[in-house]
Structure 1
Amino acid sequence: MSDLIKDNWFVILIAVIIIAFVGYFIVDSNKDNVSAKSSRGKDVLAVIADTDITADELYEDYKPFDGDLIYNMYRNAVVGQSVTTTKEMEEEAKKLENTIRSRVSSQSSEAYRDAITAELASYGFDSYDKLYDYCLMTVQQKALNKEYVDAHFDELKDKMKDSKARVVSLIKMEAADPKNLTEEETKKRDNIDKAIESGTFADAATAFSEDADTAAKDGVFGYIDASSTASTTGLGADLLSAALALNEGETSDWIEVQNESTGVISLYKVHVDTTDLDTIHKSKDSDVQDSFLYAIMNDVPGLEVTVLEDAAKKLDVTFEDKAVQTKLENYMAAQKGETENE
């Protein structure tokens, strides 16, 4: 969930109202058939308090809003019926759910939970109790995306050739005053430099780095590319800039990085492990895999829609409401930068 919803929760909450009118979408999970009953010669999309809501009424009153919702509900159905859920997926979804719930419980205001609820509604889930369902859908969709990217990687990687994609590693050294190192700190820095020169960056990181998380992974920080920012990666701007300027196998000089929360300045070296797209794609590091997959999905326009269309071809999806079908097709065409249907 984006942290931005904390600042816009009231606006997003409007989606809760809208979602009540589109809780109709996939009614036959076995046949993947989007159907509707009739009332006054019109297709009924929902029944609320014994009142029929027809397609005409929905599009007349909510035309500016429902494109996203229809697409999201279609996506949920296609993903859910295209991916076989594994125990690992369930565990990953539960972990994600617990993370979100812990953030909600740590907030003093109900507004944060309201914002999450509204965000869930915009994705086609009608209550906060459906948080796990949302999390499982995201995990399933990642699996579906990965399957497609794996099968089409040779053509997709060409679109990433100018992205400066790379996996980088770090060594961190604490210093009371980086500009005036003590004798002990100077010795520590020199020992790290010698270890890098005589061995590997990974070995030096494991032996000397004072960043526990990366030291435990042979210094590996993860995937970055030209679209990465200091805020999204957690790297300081100078460190990120240096990492993107290096070639494969190169190591930076010592760089001073200030922790924005504490103000403490530390010394870092950054090393580019690989810039080879095939190597990155085949990485055994799950974090690198996920980050690279996310980058591909974001850098290739309309790729998510393309993945869904490919999966939907294997399902028996029909639309009895042509207005719904047209709106959905127009929305997906727009996402791919194509001309909408008339």
Structure 2
Amino acid sequence: MRDFLRDNWFVVVIAVVIIGFVSYFIYDSTKYNVSGTTSDGEDVVASTNKGDVTADDLYDEMSASDSSLLYNLYRNEVVDQSIETTDDLQQDADDLKDQIDSTAEQQVSDYKSYLGQELAAYGYNGYDELDDYCLMSVKQKEMNRRYVKKHYDDLKKAVEDQNPRTISIIQISVSDPDNLTSDEQKKKDNIDSALSKQSFAKTATAYSEDSTASDEGVYGYVDGKTTESSSSSLDESVINAALDLKKGETSDWITVTDSDSGTSYLYKVHVDETDLNKIYKSKNDTIKDQVLNAFLTDNTGLEYTVVQSYAKKLDIKLSKSTKKKINAYIEEQKKGDDSSDEEN
């Protein structure tokens, strides 16, 4: 799993080890310094018995592998200065923190220490700054949303090319898909009968055993890249069936067997909407976030372009070497996006 803290998944372990060490060094070397100290006109980030260490000294000594930390520090500052903290954004940040805490606690015993290491890769000093990270994260999402809204007409083609749609599902579990019990067969027949008389939404609410039943079966947004995403909870066969349907159509029964648990399921998938303009204007918060992510994923390097666009409006002072390192990192990431066809 990647990008635990950005997308609630884990970053690459080696990056955490390297950048976590650098971040700790910065913190440990500066925690006793008086802010605002300068030497020959440059900001001092550390004072040792061998003399002062300036920001430029530190940045110049950073290896290429640390450029991601430098970029994240830069990105954090751009986001913080560009988007005002509102009550709604603060609430979203609080909710995100609760979600990260809950998920991490279930997966890692010493989760606070682990999250502290994760946070180092994003320019934060340990678990106590998780609140700051979460606020930055929701503010960055708002920044991305504003940029996409302003440039929608220029960005939409890349998304439309991926066959976008919103879908709903019905899921039931079965012991053996080739030999249904009488109760399983009865439930399957009842669903087929209900679908011939009423809407997919009503049928999903009444019969689906999936958690989406509480939302009339609505699963959300999918497109041609969904099968490549580690965040999708649907089997590839269900997504591919959805991509082959037109708006308003419902699939035949699809059999899926979980390779880990061995549990088998039967699915029906229904296409709710295929018009990107209508999907983009959805009032469903989950779909709004999913389609925003699609814009960022399908338009190569867009997330970095957004940061650069907002940075131009700010008076951020960078040395030539620091600016060069950040720009090189951004361009390298854009190339990586282009070659792997993934959003970093």
TM-score by length of 2: 0.83
> Which residue pairs with 1:29 in the alignment?
none
SS at match of 1:271: strand
Deviation at 1:221, TM superposition (A): 0.7
Q: Distance in 2 between matches of 1:106 and 1:48?
A: 41
Would the aligned equivalents of 1:78 and 1:308 in 2 still touch at CA under 8 Å?
yes
Q: Distance in 2 between matches of 1:160 and 1:52?
A: 50
- Residues 326/21 of structure 1: CA separation in 2 closer, same or farther (3 Å cut): farther
Would the aligned equivalents of 1:44 and 1:52 in 2 still touch at CA under 8 Å?
no
- 2:158 is aligned with 1:159: yes
Deviation at 1:36, TM superposition (A): 8.1
> Which residue pairs with 1:142 in the alignment?
141
Q: Distance in 1 between matches of 2:320 and 2:77?
A: 18
Would the aligned equivalents of 2:19 and 2:66 in 1 still touch at CA under 8 Å?
no
> Which residue pairs with 2:79 in the alignment?
79
One of 225, 228, 233 as aligned partner of 2:226: 228
- Residues 121/176 of structure 1: CA separation in 2 closer, same or farther (3 Å cut): closer
SS at match of 1:65: helix
The runs of 5 or more residues in structure 1 that have no matched partner are 24-34
The runs of 5 or more residues in structure 2 that have no matched partner are 28-34, 337-344
SS at match of 2:215: coil
Would the aligned equivalents of 1:93 and 1:135 in 2 still touch at CA under 8 Å?
yes
- Residues 192/300 of structure 1: CA separation in 2 closer, same or farther (3 Å cut): same
Q: Distance in 1 between matches of 2:109 and 2:183?
A: 48
Deviation at 1:45, TM superposition (A): 4.9
Deviation at 1:124, TM superposition (A): 1.0
> Which residue pairs with 2:342 in the alignment?
none
Residues 258-285 of structure 1, C-alpha deviations (whole Å, 9 max, x = no match) = 2345422121101111121111111111
SS at match of 1:233: coil
Question: Quick one: which amino acid aligns to residue 172 of structure 1?
Answer: Q
Query: Within 5 A, what are the aligned runs for 1:166-177?
Result: 166-177=165-176
> Which residue pairs with 1:26 in the alignment?
none
Would the aligned equivalents of 2:15 and 2:121 in 1 still touch at CA under 8 Å?
no
Identity of aligned residues (%): 42
TM-score by length of 1: 0.83
Deviation at 1:311, TM superposition (A): 1.9
Q: Distance in 2 between matches of 1:127 and 1:103?
A: 18
Q: Distance in 2 between matches of 1:44 and 1:106?
A: 42
Would the aligned equivalents of 2:59 and 2:322 in 1 still touch at CA under 8 Å?
no
Query: Within 5 A, what are the aligned runs for 1:268-279?
Result: 268-279=267-278
Would the aligned equivalents of 1:67 and 1:331 in 2 still touch at CA under 8 Å?
yes
Would the aligned equivalents of 1:97 and 1:131 in 2 still touch at CA under 8 Å?
yes
- Residues 106/99 of structure 1: CA separation in 2 closer, same or farther (3 Å cut): same
Residues 283-336 of structure 1, C-alpha deviations (whole Å, 9 max, x = no match) = 1111111111112112212211221222223323333x2222222233334444
Would the aligned equivalents of 1:12 and 1:115 in 2 still touch at CA under 8 Å?
no
Residues 78-101 of structure 1, C-alpha deviations (whole Å, 9 max, x = no match) = 111111222222222122212222
Question: Quick one: which amino acid aligns to residue 139 of structure 2?
Answer: Q
> Which residue pairs with 2:23 in the alignment?
19
SS at match of 1:235: coil
One of 300, 320, 323 as aligned partner of 2:321: 323
Would the aligned equivalents of 1:38 and 1:44 in 2 still touch at CA under 8 Å?
yes
Residues 150-195 of structure 1, C-alpha deviations (whole Å, 9 max, x = no match) = 1111111111122122111101233343322344433432332232
> Which residue pairs with 1:46 in the alignment?
45
Q: Distance in 2 between matches of 1:48 and 1:98?
A: 37
Would the aligned equivalents of 1:274 and 1:280 in 2 still touch at CA under 8 Å?
yes
Question: Quick one: which amino acid aligns to residue 287 of structure 1?
Answer: T
**Number of residue pairs the alignment of both structures matches:** 321
Q: Name whichever of 131-140 and 227-236 sits farther off.
A: 227-236
SS at match of 2:231: helix
Q: Distance in 1 between matches of 2:15 and 2:158?
A: 36
- Residues 182/68 of structure 1: CA separation in 2 closer, same or farther (3 Å cut): closer
> Which residue pairs with 1:63 in the alignment?
63
> Which residue pairs with 2:279 in the alignment?
280
Q: Distance in 1 between matches of 2:26 and 2:304?
A: 20
Would the aligned equivalents of 2:56 and 2:322 in 1 still touch at CA under 8 Å?
no
Q: Return the structure number with greater relative CO, CA threshold 8 A, min gap 6.
A: 1
